[in-house]
């Protein structure tokens, strides 16, 4: 009771310390150890061998270390959940391309619509081009038809003896010009007049021939103009060949032409002013025009016409 604390302290402290160590070791041995997901001790499984030895050698320090190690073990055990979360995010990320694929799948529909629109526009353009082509073809056909009609009209004028103003002026200026037979015959043919010879010849020295050699251009024009004005068929049967009456304005001098009778030309000529009867009994018809004086003699087989 009365002893000095310093004499009893060391012995009491050693016993107390030993007792505390024994109690701590007993408590740690009986304390539950946190278990991991697989049932093993998280602390013993996570720590190496030298750490597990130190766990039981220093109760105060190692208890806190054990708690920290246990929390790390829990975090380690919880890591699969984080991985699952990451995997879930990855799965979502993988599902996003599916929606992109759906959009991509929708894109072709839009592309198809655009293609259809382009095709419709192309079809409309093609239709307009076809209409324009048809219009151009119609215009060309109309022009071709007009040209064909003009050609037919020209042929009709040629057949009826109608000539151009240039040829008219030529006849007016050079009416006294003498033509060879072939040139005169070509002009008659070009104007649509016929030609006939009883002897089927063109020799002006034979009475059975029909020759236009040395005929006046004015006389030739007169018979062509007769066809043009009358619209009748005109066939030349006599020209400058021998066998006709002589005189300054006779066949031989190139002033007269004989044409055969037909109802059309007879009616046209007999509508002119009649005159006296010639000594051979042929009735005379006169026509006065700016181009000259024309006398028609009505002979039995033909009309004897003098162009002056």
Contacts by residues 168-173 (CB-CB < 8 Å, ≥ 24 positions apart): 168/221, 170/217, 171/217, 171/218, 171/220, 171/221, 172/291
Across 20-34, 144-158, 160-174, the highest mean pLDDT is recorded for: 144-158
Strand-pair category, 215-216 with 292-298: unpaired
Secondary structure percentages of the chain, helix, strand, coil, to 5:
60, 15, 30
CB of 252 closer than 8 Å to CB of 242: yes
pLDDT-derived band at 155 (thresholds 50, 70, 90) equals: low
| H/E element, 294 | strand 292-298
pLDDT-derived band at 120 (thresholds 50, 70, 90) equals: confident
Q: How many CA atoms within 13 Å lie on the side-chain side of 99?
A: 6
Mean pLDDT over each residue of the chain, to the nearest integer: 75
d(C-alpha 214, C-alpha 239), whole Å: 9
pLDDT at residue 19 tops 80: no
| H/E element, 307 | strand 302-307
Q: pLDDT value at position 128?
A: 85
Burial of 19 (0-12, 13-18, 19+ CB in 10 A): exposed
- From residue 244, alpha-carbon distances to 205, 209, 234, 254, 256 in Å are 11, 12, 20, 11, 10
DSSP 87: H
DSSP 238: E
For tokens 């082509």, the residue is: 133
pLDDT at residue 33 tops 70: no
Q: Nearest CA to 213 among 191, 183, 236?
A: 183
Residue-wise pLDDT tens digits, 122-143: 888 888 888 888 888 888 888 8
pLDDT-derived band at 85 (thresholds 50, 70, 90) equals: low
Q: pLDDT value at position 55?
A: 41
Burial of 7 (0-12, 13-18, 19+ CB in 10 A): exposed
Instruction: For the chain, give every domain's residue range.
Output: 13-80, 165-307
Residue-wise pLDDT tens digits, 252-265: 999 999 999 999 99
pTM of full prediction above 0.85: no
Q: Locate 201 and state its tokens.
A: 């010849």
Query: Which range, of 8-12, 192-196, 222-226, 249-253, averages the lowest pLDDT?
Result: 8-12
Between 113 and 199, residue with greater pLDDT: 199
b (16+ CB within 10 A) / e for 214-225:
bbbbbbbbbbbb
pLDDT at residue 100 tops 90: no
Q: Locate 84 and state its tokens.
A: 């699952």
Neighbours of 59 (CB within 10 A): 16
């Amino acid at each position: 009771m009365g002893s000095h604390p310093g004499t009893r302290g060391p012995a009491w402290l050693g016993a107390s310390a030993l007792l505390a160590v024994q109690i701590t070791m007993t408590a740690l041995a009986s304390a539950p150890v946190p278990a991991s997901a697989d049932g093993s001790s998280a602390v013993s499984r996570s720590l190496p061998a030298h750490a597990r030895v130190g766990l039981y050698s220093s109760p105060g320090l190692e208890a806190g270390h054990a708690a920290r190690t246990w929390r790390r073990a829990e975090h380690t055990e919880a890591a699969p959940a984080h991985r699952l979360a990451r995997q879930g995010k990855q799965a979502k990320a993988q599902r996003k391309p599916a929606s992109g694929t759906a959009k991509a799948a929708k894109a072709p529909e839009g592309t198809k619509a655009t293609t259809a629109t382009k095709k419709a526009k192309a079809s409309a353009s093609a239709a307009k081009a076809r209409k324009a082509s048809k219009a151009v073809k119609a215009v060309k056909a109309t022009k071709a038809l007009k040209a064909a009609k003009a050609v037919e009209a020209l042929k009709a004028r040629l057949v009826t003896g109608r000539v151009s103003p240039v040829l008219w002026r030529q006849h007016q200026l050079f009416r006294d010009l003498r033509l060879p037979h072939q040139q005169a015959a070509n002009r008659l043919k070009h104007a649509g007049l016929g030609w006939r010879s009883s002897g089927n010849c063109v020799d002006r020295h034979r009475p059975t021939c029909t020759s236009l050699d040395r005929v006046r251009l004015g006389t030739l024009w007169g018979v062509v103009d007769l066809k043009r004005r009358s619209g009748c068929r005109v066939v030349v049967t006599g020209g400058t060949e021998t066998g006709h009456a002589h005189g300054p304005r006779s066949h031989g001098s190139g002033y007269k032409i004989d044409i055969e009778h037909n109802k059309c030309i007879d009616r046209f000529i007999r509508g002119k002013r009649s005159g006296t009867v010639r000594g051979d009994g042929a009735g005379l018809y006169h026509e006065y025009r700016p181009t000259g004086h024309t006398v028609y003699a009505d002979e039995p087989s033909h009309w004897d016409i003098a162009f002056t």
